[in-house]
């Protein structure tokens, strides 16, 4: 199985419940950013996500309120670096109590002090370790030497202690597919649970020209799609078809909503300038989802992110028996 059975079943139940309720749009993932403080300043990251002060973090109660308001079954805790959030053990325990699945996106530098021996392993908790290449590339992207070696040590330790551990890599213009393949092999060597591979999003606040155009994404993902036949790549087959330019999909930004220290971010975690809402209902009802689904905005031109497209990929796959079977085979493999 690619993920624990409960994780896959929870998503299927959520989908069925929403469909029975006649909901065309609904969130499945909450990207919860309890803080904008980080111990790194990676070159591909939006500046505001690592320059925040710890004192400006949100309270655990505020996090739980956002979780209840949106109703998503999967909570992706990111930031900032979530292991720097002092209330992380309380937050994770409360989310598990509520039956949520948690993806903890981390650079791994603080796992030994803040997670191992503090937050017990659970089939509701997945550690997602950021690794943007092998040693030389990753240390360059993270702007610091030694980050790669530490991350590898922490992945090994996490697996030894019984955690679900995944790698998460972003593909930039300079990323060589040979290096992506080396990372896939590393997943097997480390007995990690899989790897999520995303094309980098062109943040307006990042000055260096490191991002892919749509055509470059297609070219790289045509090769990554081939790699997915041999390695545990956590992208659905239809998403990979989309990233490789073989099918078109509408965006579904409402499937992955984003709550930040400034409030609900419209329409998705990538777009700057559309404002924040303090109130869930206002955010949900005032955002023009139909507009963002069409990908017409200039800021969507090169975007092929999982967050906006995986829901559409699953919908597309489930339109036919062949697609549904392909999706089921993918879920149960690995
Ligand atoms: S296409 Fe990308 S940037 Fe545009 S709304 Fe969707 S997820 Fe956001």
pLDDT of residue 202: 66
Section 68-77 average pLDDT: 98
Q: Which protein residue has the closest C-alpha to ligand 1 atom 4?
A: 300
| pLDDT at residue 334, rounded to an integer | 58
- The rounded Å distance from CA 267 to ligand 1 centre is 8
Q: What is the pLDDT of residue 275?
A: 92
Give the list of residues 6+ apart from residue 197 with CB closer than 8 angstroms, or none. Answer: 169, 170, 171, 180, 224, 233, 235
Angle formed by the axes of helices 88-97 and 60-70, nearest 10°:
30
Residue identified by tokens 């149960």 is 332
DSSP 124: T
* Whether residue 292 has its Cβ less than 6 Å from ligand 1: yes
Residue 228: predicted pLDDT? 93
Instruction: Tell which one of 267, 296, 301 to mutate to probe ligand 1, the residue whose CB is within 8 A of the most ligand atoms.
Output: 267
Beta bridge partners of 236: none
| Ligand 1 geometric centre to CA of 25 (Å) | 15
Q: What is the CATH number of the domain that holds 90?
A: 3.20.20.70
* Digit-coded pLDDT (tens) for 220-243: 999 999 999 999 999 999 999 999
Sign of CA dihedral 79, 130, 218, 216: positive
In this structure, the residue with its CA closest to atom 1 of ligand 1 is: 300
Return the ligand 1 atom nearest residue 271 CA: 3
Count of the separate structural domains present in the chain: 1
Ligand 1 pocket, residue 257 CB under 6 Å:
no
pLDDT of the residue at 282: 98
State in Å: Cα 303 to ligand 1 middle.
Answer: 6
- Taking the complete model, does pTM exceed 0.85, yes or no? yes
Average model confidence (pLDDT) across the chain: 92
Q: How confident is the model at residue 171 (pLDDT cuts 50, 70, 90)?
A: confident
Expressed as residue numbers, the domain containing 223 is: 5-332
Q: pLDDT band at residue 209, thresholds of 50, 70 and 90?
A: low
**Dihedral sign (CA 221, 225, 228, 230):** negative
For 300-322, what is the mean pLDDT? Answer: 90
Residue with CA closest to ligand 1 atom 2:
303
Give the ligand 1 atom nearest the CA of 304. 2
Residue to probe by mutation, ligand 1, list 214, 254, 257, 268, most atoms within 8 Å of CB: 268
**What is the distance, to the nearest Å, from the Cα of residue 31 to the centroid of all Cα atoms in its chain?**
8
pLDDT of residue 255: 97
Cα(300) to centroid(ligand 1), Å: 5
pLDDT above 70: residue 283: yes
Rounded Cα distance, 329 and 334, in Å: 10
The pLDDT tens digits of the residues spanning 16-48 come to: 999 999 999 999 999 999 999 998 888 877 787
Report whether residue 251 contacts ligand 1, using a CB cutoff of 6 Å: yes
Return the pLDDT at 206.
Answer: 58
Q: How confident is the model at residue 192 (pLDDT cuts 50, 70, 90)?
A: very high
Residue nearest to atom 7 of ligand 1 (CA): 308
Residue 307 has pLDDT above 90, yes or no: no
């Amino acid at each position: 199985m690619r993920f624990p059975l409960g994780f896959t079943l929870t998503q299927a139940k959520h989908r069925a419940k929403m469909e029975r309720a006649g909901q065309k749009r609904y969130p499945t993932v909450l990207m919860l950013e309890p803080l904008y403080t980080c111990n790194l300043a990676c070159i591909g990251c939006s500046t505001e996500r690592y320059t925040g002060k710890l004192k400006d973090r949100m309270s655990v109660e505020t996090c739980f309120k956002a979780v209840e308001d949106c109703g998503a079954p999967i909570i992706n805790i990111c930031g900032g670096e979530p292991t720097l959030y002092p209330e992380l053990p309380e937050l994770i325990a409360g989310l598990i109590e509520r039956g949520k699945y948690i993806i903890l996106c981390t650079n791994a530098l603080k796992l030994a002090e803040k997670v191992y021996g503090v937050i017990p392993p659970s089939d509701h908790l997945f550690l997602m370790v950021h690794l943007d290449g092998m040693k030389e590339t990753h240390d360059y992207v993270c702007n610091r030497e030694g980050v790669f070696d530490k991350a590898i040590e922490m992945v090994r330790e996490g697996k030894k202690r019984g955690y679900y551990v995944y790698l998460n890599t972003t593909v930039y213009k300079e990323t060589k597919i040979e290096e992506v393949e080396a990372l896939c092999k590393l997943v097997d060597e480390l007995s990690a649970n899989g790897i999520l591979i995303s094309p980098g999003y062109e943040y307006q606040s990042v000055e260096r020209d490191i991002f892919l155009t749509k055509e470059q994404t297609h070219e790289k993902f045509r090769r990554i799609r081939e790699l997915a036949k041999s390695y545990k790549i956590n992208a659905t087959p239809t998403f990979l078809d989309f990233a490789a330019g073989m099918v078109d999909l509408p965006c579904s930004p409402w499937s992955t909503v984003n709550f930040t220290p400034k409030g609900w971010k419209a329409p998705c975690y990538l777009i700057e300038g559309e404002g924040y809402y303090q109130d869930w209902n206002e955010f949900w009802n005032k955002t023009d989802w139909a507009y963002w689904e069409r990908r017409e905005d200039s800021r969507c031109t090169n975007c092929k992110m999982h967050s906006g497209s995986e829901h559409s990929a699953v919908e597309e796959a489930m339109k036919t028996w062949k697609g549904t079977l392909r999706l089921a085979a993918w879920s149960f493999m690995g």
